[in-house]
Amino acid sequence: MTITAESPISALRGVGPKKAAAFEKLGVNTVGDLVTLFPRRYEDRTRFTPIALAMPGDTVCIRAMVAAPPRLNRIRRGMELVKLRAVDDTGAVEITYFNQTYRKDSLHQGETYIFYGKVGVVGQRKTLTNPVAEREDRAGSPGSVTGRIMPIYPLSAGLTQRVMLDAVRAALDLCGDDLPNALPEEILNQHGLAQAGFAYENIHFPADLGALELARRRLIFEELFVLSCAMGRMRGERSRTGGLKMAPQKVQEFFSALPFTPTGAQERAVLSAADDMCSGALMNRLIQGDVGSGKTMIAAACVWYVWKNGYQCAFMAPTEILAEQHEKTLKGFLEPLGLRVGRLVGSMTAKQKREVNELLQAGLLDVVVGTHALIQDSVHFQKLGLVITDEQHRFGVGQRSALTEKGDHPHTLVMSATPIPRTLALMIYGDLDVSVIDELPPGRQPIETYVVDERYRERLNAFMERLIAEGRQVFVVCPMVEENEELPEGLKSAEEHARTIQSALPSRRVACVHGRMKAKDKEAVMAAFAAGETDILVATTVIEVGVDVPNAALMIVENAERFGLSQLHQLRGRIGRGKFQSYCILVSDSETPEAKARLRVMKETSDGFKIAEADLRQRGPGDFFGSRQHGLPEMHVADLCDDMNVLEEARDAAQALLQRDPNLDEPGNRRLKAQCDRLFEINAGRLN
């Protein structure tokens, strides 16, 4: 049987069922998959360092001769050392291998080898421990591990770099020209990009650093180009789909009925949405604003606008408690103007739901706020004109479109508080028009943030006590712990910590909410806190999503070093929503400079974008994407921090191509089209 790119990975020589399972853990199922499993990093083993210049701490290649026969030492049972001395013209190095007894016979006195490893020092002597070793004449030849730039692959248990090297080599040879390649020939030429064969060969086995760079550039460009094309096509489809054409209204009429003056950013967002809805095309707009920037009022303005045009709105929130809050807020804004606001959530009785449905169908409600109960088949609108969803990443495209199908091409407005660095926004929002709310309503008291350690515990308790005596409420946040996961030393579990606090403050009402509780119980605890029935809410990050408790003026985050910066920012947004001075106290005993630097960012800025950028810089995009909060497909090679230039070039190229061939029907673009479709299949529900 011939092995092809489609063959299972176990078809490769030396890959038994165990190794095949280990490959599958890395997402490698077929021989072809292996070709796109890119090295995590590279080690430059092409340059040799004279021993005299090899500094302790450096990882280097040394070309040296074994000066005396290697000696075997048994220190104790199960621990054998092979020791040897190697020399070059400039000096000597002591080499030790632990439990690699075969080295005694594989390294010969008088022969010269390339050793690769990290230089150590014992007394005056330079040392290498367990270095890679290869006979001088083997270095740089096919299959060698020195004398060239070595790829270092991600591994899973059961795999070694050696196994990976052999498997990737075999996969590349078997695939031949059958490589993933979505770039049309003309794009390659126009942008000076390498051919696929060259790119895949050199991303794995770089001939030199220049070749590696060319390979990387080609693959990054391809990845970003395909993503841009896919996004661009979606956008194109939308602009060809007609939307309800609304008649212009004087939004000033709505603004003047508000209890406050809208900020410039709010006004601009409302006007843009109004323009969209009057354009005749379908609106698909994202309102992106930091917590507390006043997105709800923008939504209310749009509801009003649509109502003036004789249409209804659906407003979907991720939880019942949020739905309830939005209902209350919308009623405040809209009922005085004559709109009728209703609510539909899962916990309502069948009778209550039926009533809301009847009102909706008869056109007697102008807006219904709800959870995904809204997408049930039994829900019908008389004239649905606009669908609003809050907290974007909680809903998939599927859920959103199930709702829009209840109308005749209603417009869409999405609200998100996830701040996204500009670098990423370019990619993610390919299909959305974005309004950024970069201005907070006036008169906010900035939250005071402090970073403290365990020694402050007594004072913290006293501070809680004092604020509660003043009538305020307190959030205490503990790190989320996966089910069944052992609690690492020193980490506070929410339940246990709640008991500790209760015994420290016996007269205060302490409640606890965490992810393992049933949704209904969670909501009940949160609702009690929102209603002021408890003083202290000890919680895991389940409180992250926009619950509004203006009376909460203190947030204490335990083991703060365990949280991502963006997450801390979202959490902190739960306080400072009322007229009281609010405080955020990050408790951490971590001594590492990284943790300290991270927490300092929180103390120094409250700007969600700056924090997201710092987060991206400190954690790297891998992690940033890893959290999967941003609806982004996983990127293989593109490090968006560094690759801004390629990103822009690829996006412009994609736009130009789509202008000429919007549907990618030209024969030269067939593979590109297939690749775009695949991207959406893989990421169904994640892209907007």
- Residues forming contacts to ligand ADP in the complex (CB under 6 A) are 260, 262-263, 266, 289, 291-297, 417, 441, 546, 548
Least separation in angstroms between residue 414's CB and Mg ion is 12
Buried/exposed code over 534-557 (b: 16+ C-beta within 10 A; e: otherwise): bbbbbbbbbbbbbbbbebbbbbbb
Query: How far is it between the farthest Cα atoms of the chain?
Result: 96
Least separation in angstroms between residue 263's CB and ligand ADP is 5
Q: How far apart are CA 672 and CA 183, in angstroms?
A: 6
How many residues interact with Mg ion (rule CB under 5 A)? 1
Return the closest-CA partner of residue 125 out of 100, 91, 83: 91
Least separation in angstroms between residue 572's CB and ligand ADP is 12
Among ligand ADP, Mg ion, none, the one that 263 touches (CB under a kind-dependent 5 to 8 A) is: ligand ADP
C-alpha 132 chain-centroid distance: 36
Among ligand ADP, Mg ion, none, the one that 421 touches (CB under a kind-dependent 5 to 8 A) is: none
Return the closest-CA partner of residue 115 out of 160, 48, 161: 48
Phi, psi (deg, nearest 5) at residue 66: -75, 120
Among ligand ADP, Mg ion, none, the one that 292 touches (CB under a kind-dependent 5 to 8 A) is: ligand ADP
Q: How far apart are CA 16 and CA 35, in angstroms?
A: 19
> Smaller CB distance to ligand ADP: residue 181 or 293?
293
Among Mg ion, ligand ADP, none, the one that 260 touches (CB under a kind-dependent 5 to 8 A) is: ligand ADP
Beta-sheet pairing, 473-477 with 510-513: unpaired
Least separation in angstroms between residue 534's CB and ligand ADP is 22
Among ligand ADP, Mg ion, none, the one that 98 touches (CB under a kind-dependent 5 to 8 A) is: none
For the four alpha carbons of 164, 165, 169 and 175, in that order, the dihedral sign comes to positive
Query: Which residues touch 39 (CB under 8 Å, ≥6 apart)?
Result: 151, 152, 153, 203, 204
Least separation in angstroms between residue 678's CB and ligand ADP is 36
Least separation in angstroms between residue 292's CB and Mg ion is 8
**DSSP-assigned beta bridge partners for residue 437:** 289
Among ligand ADP, Mg ion, none, the one that 288 touches (CB under a kind-dependent 5 to 8 A) is: none
Site string for Mg ion, 387-426 (x = CB under 5 A): ----------------------------------------
Q: Is the separation of the CB atoms in 412 and 283 below 8 Å?
A: yes
Least separation in angstroms between residue 338's CB and ligand ADP is 20
Least separation in angstroms between residue 444's CB and ligand ADP is 8
Q: How far apart are CA 536 and CA 520, in angstroms?
A: 20
Return the closest-CA partner of residue 150 out of 62, 45, 59, 60: 45
**DSSP-assigned beta bridge partners for residue 149:** 44
Using Cβ positions, the residue closest to ligand ADP within the complex turns out to be 294
Least separation in angstroms between residue 260's CB and ligand ADP is 4
**DSSP-assigned beta bridge partners for residue 48:** 61
The length of the chain is 688
Among ligand ADP, Mg ion, none, the one that 291 touches (CB under a kind-dependent 5 to 8 A) is: ligand ADP
Q: Is the separation of the CB atoms in 527 and 319 below 8 Å?
A: no
Q: How far apart are CA 316 and CA 326, in angstroms?
A: 9
Least separation in angstroms between residue 526's CB and Mg ion is 15
Least separation in angstroms between residue 546's CB and Mg ion is 4
> Smaller CB distance to Mg ion: residue 98 or 260?
260
> Smaller CB distance to Mg ion: residue 494 or 571?
571
| Three state DSSP letters for 439-458 | CCCCCCCCCEEEEECHHHHH
> Smaller CB distance to Mg ion: residue 290 or 643?
290
> Smaller CB distance to ligand ADP: residue 193 or 298?
298
Least separation in angstroms between residue 631's CB and ligand ADP is 19
Among ligand ADP, Mg ion, none, the one that 293 touches (CB under a kind-dependent 5 to 8 A) is: ligand ADP
> Smaller CB distance to Mg ion: residue 228 or 412?
412
> Smaller CB distance to Mg ion: residue 62 or 368?
368
Least separation in angstroms between residue 420's CB and ligand ADP is 15
Q: What token pair was written down for 523?
A: 């909501």
Using Cβ positions, the residue closest to Mg ion within the complex turns out to be 546
Return the closest-CA partner of residue 172 out of 25, 3, 1: 3
> Smaller CB distance to ligand ADP: residue 203 or 298?
298
For the four alpha carbons of 274, 275, 278 and 279, in that order, the dihedral sign comes to negative
Candidate ranges 135-143, 270-278, 422-430, 541-549; the one touching Mg ion (CB under 5 A): 541-549
Interface residue with Mg ion, options 70, 131, 147, 546 (CB under 5 A): 546
Phi, psi (deg, nearest 5) at residue 584: -120, 120
Query: Which residues touch 505 (CB under 8 Å, ≥6 apart)?
Result: 461, 464, 465, 468, 536
> Smaller CB distance to ligand ADP: residue 39 or 546?
546
Among ligand ADP, Mg ion, none, the one that 262 touches (CB under a kind-dependent 5 to 8 A) is: ligand ADP
> Smaller CB distance to Mg ion: residue 386 or 426?
386
Does residue 573 belong to the site contacting Mg ion (CB under 5 A)?
A: no
Query: Which residues touch 95 (CB under 8 Å, ≥6 apart)?
Result: 83, 84, 85, 86, 115, 127, 128, 129, 131
> Smaller CB distance to Mg ion: residue 437 or 650?
437
> Smaller CB distance to ligand ADP: residue 145 or 317?
317
> Smaller CB distance to Mg ion: residue 546 or 576?
546
Give the interface with Mg ion as residue ranges (CB under 5 A): 546
